Amino acid sequence: MALTLPSLLSTSSAASSPCLPPHRTLFTGPSTLSLNRSCRRRRSGPRASVAFDSPAEAGERGGSSSGELLLEVRGLSAVISESKKEVLRSVDLTVHQGEIHAIMGRNGSGKSTFSKVLAGHPQYEVTGGVVTFKGQNLLDMDPEERSHAGLFTSFQDPVEIPGISNYDFLLMAYNARQKKLNRPEIGPIEFFSVVDPKLAMLKMEKGFLDGHVNGASGGQKKRSEILQLAVLGADLCILDEIDSGLDVDALQDVAKAINGLLTPDNSILMITHYRRLLDYIKPAYVHIMEDGRIIKTGDASLAKQLEEGGFKAVSAT
């Protein structure tokens, strides 16, 4: 599949979300040239057995609020496509509408891999498990379809796209969603009235829109990811280390913007190393990831325990 930028941008059908629903999926590197080979479940060869939690255990992985079931991950296992190295080992997670979840864990424990596998990143191949998103089999969808369905993923290291301005990028993504929802596309002048209030919310300069995608400093890239989310919206936002590189004021701005986008219908899954973020965006569930699986789930006090006692204080054993 030949890739053009618009093919990397997609929209969500989550019309119910007041934060405009759709968004984009963007992968980097040569592997993006084969989105159809992305991490759908492997269709041939042996499948790993699926480890289902008991209902009680599943409850401990989150998802006991009154909101509708949004994301259900059961026994998700994955390998790196090229090397076949196992990176996810039977991950279980349940997210309902309106819930905020945090995933914490040591460097290299598999947090980013988990988010990328959910987004359908072609670097990974799913070898087992079931993932249901809004009642649909997520693993059978292309990355673009996942995005159309309302899944937004902000990556730990957003890729730079020289030659494409932030404004054009957002406009293309926005119009892709309009098209998907059979709504009229809007022109560049009209689009400014969509972006302007979001920029103000994130305390970003208008000049940012002229810069190229992710061509800014680390902290600005993170703001830019949230700007994309604010303009495009989502039912489930996966935020991978959205706090990294942000100074204390920027962290507050970004957290305020994210909180402002929350509704009873949408949910956040945030990956972080620091409790500081969780002071601003308060999760109902904190999950600890280790060696490619979620080994423990608790409430926000788990993050406090982690900060005070290190990983040994929250280890499964």
Chain residues 142-161 in contact with ligand ATP, contact rule CB under 6 A: 156
CB of 135 to ligand ATP, least distance (A): 27
Compute the least distance from the CB of residue 89 to ligand ATP, in Å: 11
Instruction: Between 168 and 241, name the residue whose CB sits nearer to ligand ATP.
Output: 241
Write the DSSP symbol of residue 207.
Answer: G
The letter for the amino acid at 278 is L
What is the rounded distance in angstroms from the CA atom of residue 291 to the CA atom of residue 294?
Answer: 8
| Binding residue for ligand ATP, selected from 19, 87, 239, 257, defined by CB under 6 A | 87
Residue in 112, 154, 220, 272 binding Mg ion, rule: CB under 5 A? 112
Q: Least separation, in Å, of the C-beta of 189 and Mg ion? A: 39
Write phi, then psi, for 8 (nearest 5 degrees): -90, -10
The C-alpha atoms of residue 206 and residue 177 are separated, in whole angstroms, by 23
Q: Are 137 and 118 in contact (CB under 8 A)?
A: no
According to CB under 5 A, which residues from 185 to 214 bind Mg ion?
none
Helix (H) or strand (E) holding 88: strand 86-96
Binding mask 188-227 for ligand ATP (x = CB under 6 A): ----------------------------------------
Residue 109 binds ligand ATP, judged by CB under 6 A? yes
Nearer to Mg ion, 154 or 267 (CB): 154
Among 25, 77, 113, 214, binds ligand ATP (CB under 6 A): 113
Residue 245 CB, shortest distance to ligand ATP, in Å, is 13
Q: Which is nearer to ligand ATP, 29 or 260 (by Cβ)?
A: 29
Nearest by Cα to 164 from 156, 155, 172: 172
Choose which of 21, 63, 75, 110 interacts with ligand ATP (CB under 6 A): 110
Among 21, 63, 98, 105, binds ligand ATP (CB under 6 A): 105
Closest CA to 209 of 174, 257, 248, 184: 174
Distance in Å, CB of 288 to ligand ATP, minimum: 11
Q: Which is nearer to ligand ATP, 111 or 222 (CB)?
A: 111
Is 310 buried (19+), middle (13-18) or exposed (0-12) by CB count in 10 A?
A: exposed
The two tokens of residue 249 are 């004021």
Residue whose entry in the numeric block shows the structure tokens 């929802």: 181
Number of chain positions touching ligand ATP (CB under 6 A): 12
Considering only the stretches 156-164, 171-179, 184-192, 309-317, report the one whose residues sit in contact with Mg ion under the rule CB under 5 A.
156-164
Q: Which is nearer to Mg ion, 156 or 178 (CB)?
A: 156
Using an 8 Å Cβ cutoff, are 263 and 256 in contact?
Answer: no
108 binds, among ligand ATP, Mg ion, none (CB under 5 to 8 A by kind): ligand ATP
As measured in angstroms, the least distance from the Cβ of 286 to ligand ATP is 15
Q: In whole angstroms, give the CA distance from residue 181 to residue 59.
A: 35
Interface contacts to Mg ion, rule CB under 5 A: 111-112, 156
Interface contacts to ligand ATP, rule CB under 6 A: 80, 87, 105, 107-113, 123, 156
